[in-house]
Amino acid sequence: MKLRTAIFALLVLVIAFVAQSQTFVIPSIYMAYLCIEDLVAVPEIPIWHPVGCEIVDCCPGCPGPGEIDWSIKISGDPAERVVFEFERLPAEGLKKLSLKGNAKLVEGNRLEVGVGESLISGFPADTRQGPVLARGRIVLNKTWLSEAAGRSRSVAEDKAQPQSDNRNLGKIEVSIVQSLGKVAVREYQQLYFIIRCRGGGGGSQDFVRLSNMNGTDSATILLDGRRSTGCVDDEVRRASPNVGVGNVLTNQNCNTETAVFAQNNAMQLATPVNVWTSAATDTENVNMRPVIQVPVTVWILQGPLAQTQAQVNNDIARANQLYNTMQAGVGFSPVTINNATANPNAAGLLNGGCGNAAQFSQQIGFTNGQLNVYYISVVAGGNRGQWCGGGNPNMMFVGASISDNESLSHEVGHAFSLGHTNGIAGIPATNLMVTGGVNRNSITTGQCFRIDVNSNSQLNANGNRNGPTRNCPDATTSNTCPSLALDVLPK
């Protein structure tokens, strides 16, 4: 018995050790939503990927410089083939490639890869001009496209049929694993979801009517309520200003609410909603309001001043664009920029961070009740950025020497209650809250909801927003908290 206990203890320890050893991998899954209406007009999807390793010597223990192989997999009914053209790869280099599976050279020095698995061997790892670039297009299957467009059209034109959640028509997956010998040196996976974007929602049904909309953006609506099948949670609808929602019934014991997200408008949360009846003629009016402006104070410690100031300007402009186009409903204004480069204490704090919070606030400056961003050189610990959380949720740092064009937006995301998304299923590599990576350009609707309603989001804590609040940690999904991964690419 004791032996069994010992073995069990050992197993627990081994599992704990393995868990502790896991590294934080940067996701390599990319996603895009494409409208069938656009694809009918142009039945191709552009695709781009460089040839090369993820680190400069490819990997620890790699066999040294050599040729790179692509293992490429294309799947999904909508796809017929991918046609690549290569930059920095002369025609003779292209002819030297070894092709297996469904890959073949075609006229015009192009490489055509069909659906299924193929192996392309012999890419040069690098050229003097830079890496070989594969620029291509996914050619769609015309039969599939025609049938899908027909199906979509009939739904769109069917006045009796309410606008439906089921807008998905098909999916294409392209994965490329680049290898040096037997070792994978870069992975890439791109998912394309083909959806119906327009039409539908006519006839006899209930509506959400958006009044005072600023702009003409297609709003995203999350609807909780009751249908004939029972309670429904976070049904996604997109339209504006009148959004057909089918027949929503009287509440009974179901949670009822409507959350509305739109560019150039603040998020609106109506809860509970008591207008729904058994008739399919009800209307919920939602009064939209302008984007909530969040005041920000910036302290520049890192010189030269003009250069850092230009960087601050870029980063604020990027934050405004990103949060607005992703329908978070927030903007950043006024932005007060303070020159602290001449402050005698600045030099000693250029590599500081949250551990020096008191020094920053006392020796450099701090404005109560709003976001304070300090542009220093490299944040303590070699970090690009840092949000202080805990006792200083309005304080954050950007390491101006190593930050990227989304570092500020990322730190603001933390101040708005969001955590990192690495390793969260369904959230792509392009999400703003990925720690690492170089192409962060999206915020999920699940994240927008948290930005706006979480009581620990500084938007609410600082009193920038007035409205109902919640406590929705990233990992919580319930009838009052949408999944963090809900609607990963709102636009």
- When asked if residue 60 is in the footprint of another protein (CB under 8 A), the reply is yes
Question: What is the contact mask toward another protein in residues 266 to 305, using x (rule: CB under 8 A)?
Answer: ----------------------------------------
Residue listed under structure tokens 């439906």: 164
Three-state secondary structure readout of 286-323: EECCCCEEEEEEEEECCCCHHHHHHHHHHHHHHHHHHH
State in angstroms the smallest separation of the CB of 249 from another protein: 40
Piece in contact with another protein (CB under 8 A), picked from 157-165, 251-259, 265-273, 314-322? 314-322
Query: Closer to another protein at the Cβ: 307 or 479?
Result: 307
> Does the protein bind another protein through residue 198 (CB under 8 A)?
no
Residue 473 beta carbon to another protein: minimum distance, rounded to whole angstroms = 17
Per CB under 8 A, the segment of 190-198, 238-246, 399-407, 465-473 that binds another protein is 399-407
Least distance to another protein, CB of residue 126, Å = 5
Find the binding residues for another protein in span 118-137 (CB under 8 A): 126, 130-131, 133
Instruction: Give least dist CB 366 to another protein, A.
Output: 20
**Please, which residue, 46 or 108, has the CB nearer to another protein?**
46
Q: Report the residue number, 144 or 188, with the smaller CB distance to another protein.
A: 188
Residues numbered 414-443 forming contacts with another protein, rule: CB under 8 A: 420, 422, 435-439, 441
Contact flag: residue 10 with another protein (CB under 8 A): yes
- State the minimum distance, in angstroms, from the CB of residue 133 to another protein: 7
Which segment (96-104, 244-252, 397-405, 472-480) binds another protein by CB under 8 A? 397-405
The one-letter amino acid code at 114 reads G
Q: Is 46 in the site for another protein (CB under 8 A)?
A: no
Report in angstroms how near the CB of residue 57 gets to another protein at its nearest: 4
Least distance to another protein, CB of residue 256, Å:
34
- Does 52 engage in binding with another protein (CB under 8 A)? yes
Total Cβ atoms within 10 A of residue 324:
19
